[in-house]
Structure 1
């Protein structure tokens, strides 16, 4: 267990450096900076930066940034769902896509919402992941929140605002195993289905359920998502529902981008959205190459 926790922390530390490299690459994309230039800007050696990127993303910095161009994004929008052998789709090789196939979403009842969570017991913890610290909160019937964090003390405050009358229990480490299953590309694809129990309007629930069908490494436009739920012309309302998603990653709102290929906004920051899209695309390209 201690070794697993250490690996999670190491991935989080890698992300802090990799995130700075991605910021530099995006800001200087038109100049096509070489590895030496990026490394110098971060006060790292070329070999150190290459190792960091390969360990975190599985590909080189150059290959990673190629996944984030508008041209690449538009091509993926046009292509629709990526196609891999059945063994990959079933999670028999290559971790990461298990949540696309085994997530169930249940909505809180209007009564539970109106009562502010009275009678609900919510266990929560802050866990280390390869994308930084996250808040993971669970009820007896499923995950009710997965939030990327940007500062200390925000986790419980956010939960209390969402569920003012619920019994909140801080249980350090209670979500560690689940987070490793979600964010570790080498994790086994077995285990029970992942149940989500969230609160939202009927329209929001409809949008979030539709997001569950957007595959790992895939992208969808706001207009396409509106059409998917039978509401063409409601792209703006769909965007609002996407932005209200309480369960990052598992309800993959990061896979929704603008029609012209621009990344668009993200509840936890546009920069993190870039990281998530790029990481998934990099992992997918590696799996396709070895399929």
Structure 2
């Protein structure tokens, strides 16, 4: 979505799009070389802009304000600063962790936009269009089944669609119905709420190994054998959005919805465990 929007901006402006990412720009010279090679009015797209190092980030400030950069030539006592003029350009930055952007950088952007997850109906439209491009016959039930399990992300929807297509070609004469989609996605360990094997592993670790939480992120990462960044950037956002996981000052906790998803008794307030269905 973010990269596509950058392409749309460049196309509407009739200019070139230059792409890079924060981790790639390790030294000030890397960014300076990129900026000085821009054509007038080009669009520069920096993905994961929150991962720019402070020394590289400082190069951007005068570039955004005055279309100029200062670079150092030489070393030691002979070193001197040279100011270079830049052509006017548009900077598009993308991040999944806006809180890690420094205030000076964030405040220099004229427009700050937030992308929300797609609704199942919107994903269904994307899946239907992708199926047509793939020359796959699919009914509405099949499209919605794929959409519901796509975590609100078109990229995931298209990936699942290709695997469901493969399954349908073997088991369903090439036609994707709701039953075929359900069987294919179940085989891929994607359940009806879109949770995959790592999502379930994380939630089960919180519930079974840590008594429902709270548990610190490092302990949780060690328990499921996953990197901390992967948990924070890939797994947690969807689980929190769907109401299965909570972040608290003391750590991560599983919600009653998470217990119900696995058929467990939901804990009562205060830590006592209660039945899902109490007798009146």
Structure with higher Rg: it is 2
TM-score relative to the length of structure 2 = 0.29
User: Of the two structures, which has the highest relative contact order with CA contacts closer than 8 Å and spacing of 6 or more?
Assistant: 1
TM-score relative to the length of structure 1 = 0.28
